């Protein structure tokens, strides 16, 4: 998160870190992506977090990583480290366009009900352009590879689809689509998600509206952040 501030886990108990088990320890505990708790045994993250494009090599297997919940400082010992029993990658996820970038992790043991955040519905007012929204993560704070060991958040706003259609017209490959993505950012620039925040939550009106997915650079006024539109991409039952 660039342009944000540090936040305690009591203010965002639904935010989790995905951590590589063979890189566990160290100041960032192997954190490679974010996630969000939507039921005691269900965590949403970005599909691309589990793909070959993260850290290279083979797609992640459930034995390779764990979810760290209830912990803001990755140097700390609080909260829970929970293993994953199953992953569901959205079958409509398209890595060439980035559409549908969502995966569901099933945890081996339940987290407290108090960690669960509600998911917005498609017609929810929280999606209206101009709505204030908060993004959370342990990702790059500078755009130059300086990662946070303590959770951070930045206040952005939901932007009209046209802002991202203009920034990301695509043609070939990655492009913005308002039906499966949400456009959000800081019209002045400076506040945004960044590398390492992928899979983490975008929250508006107390509801989950998006997952950090992609964008060009970090905090550039003319290049907003693009988020997975959870309300349309997440199946009714998961
Ligand atoms: C990334 O690479 C990434 N500024 C995530 C979000 C944004 C840029 C890059 C948005 O994970």
Token pair of 142, please? 């500078």
pLDDT given at position 54: 59
Q: Is the CB of 101 under 6 A from ligand 1?
A: no
Ligand 1 binding pocket includes 183 (Cβ within 6 Å):
no
CA distance 194 to 138: 9
The three-point CA angle 46-6-113 to 5° equals 55
Ligand 1 pocket member 218 (CB < 6 A) = yes
Catalytic residue among 101, 134, 186, 197: 101
As a whole number, mean pLDDT of residues 165-177 equals 89
Q: Which atom number of ligand 1 is nearest to the Cα of residue 192?
A: 4
Tell me: the pLDDT tens digits for 113-138? 999 999 999 999 999 999 999 999 99
More confident residue, 105 or 28: 105
Mark whether 85 is an active-site residue. no
The b-or-e profile of 162-173 (16+ CB within 10 A means b, else e) is ebbeebbeeeee
Lowest mean pLDDT among 58-72, 81-95, 156-170, 193-207: 58-72
Residue 21 pLDDT grade (very low, low, confident, very high; cuts 50, 70, 90): confident
Name the pLDDT band for 53 (thresholds 50, 70, 90): low
Q: Tell me, what's the pLDDT at 23?
A: 73
Whether the CB of 106 sits within 6 Å of ligand 1: no
Q: Kindly state the average pLDDT of the residues 181-205.
A: 98
Residue nearest to atom 1 of ligand 1 (CA): 195
Is 198 assigned a catalytic role? Answer: yes
The bridge status of strand 80-89 relative to strand 152-158 is unpaired
C-beta of 200 in contact with ligand 1 (< 6 A):
no
């Amino acid at each position: 998160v660039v342009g944000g501030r540090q936040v305690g886990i009591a203010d965002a108990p639904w935010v989790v870190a995905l951590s590589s088990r063979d890189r566990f320890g160290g100041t960032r505990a192997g954190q490679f992506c974010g996630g969000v708790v939507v039921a005691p045994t269900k965590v949403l993250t970005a599909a691309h977090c589990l793909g070959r494009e993260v850290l290279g090599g083979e797609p992640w297997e459930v034995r390779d990583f764990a979810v760290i919940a209830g912990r803001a400082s990755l140097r700390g010992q609080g909260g829970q480290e929970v293993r994953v029993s199953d992953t569901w990658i959205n079958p409509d996820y398209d890595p060439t366009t980035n559409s549908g970038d969502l995966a569901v992790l099933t945890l081996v043991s339940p987290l407290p009900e108090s960690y669960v955040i509600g998911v917005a519905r498609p017609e929810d007012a929280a999606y209206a352009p101009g709505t204030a929204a908060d993004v959370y993560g342990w990702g790059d704070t500078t755009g130059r590879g300086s990662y946070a060991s303590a959770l951070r958040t930045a206040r952005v706003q939901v932007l009209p689809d046209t802002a991202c259609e203009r920034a990301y017209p695509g043609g070939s490959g990655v492009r913005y689509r308002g039906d499966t993505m949400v456009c959000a950012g800081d019209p002045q620039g400076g506040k945004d998600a960044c590398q390492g925040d992928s899979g983490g939550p975008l929250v508006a009106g107390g509801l989950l509206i998006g997952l950090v997915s992609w964008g060009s650079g970090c905090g550039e006024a003319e290049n907003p952040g693009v988020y997975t539109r959870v309300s349309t991409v997440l199946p009714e039952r998961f």
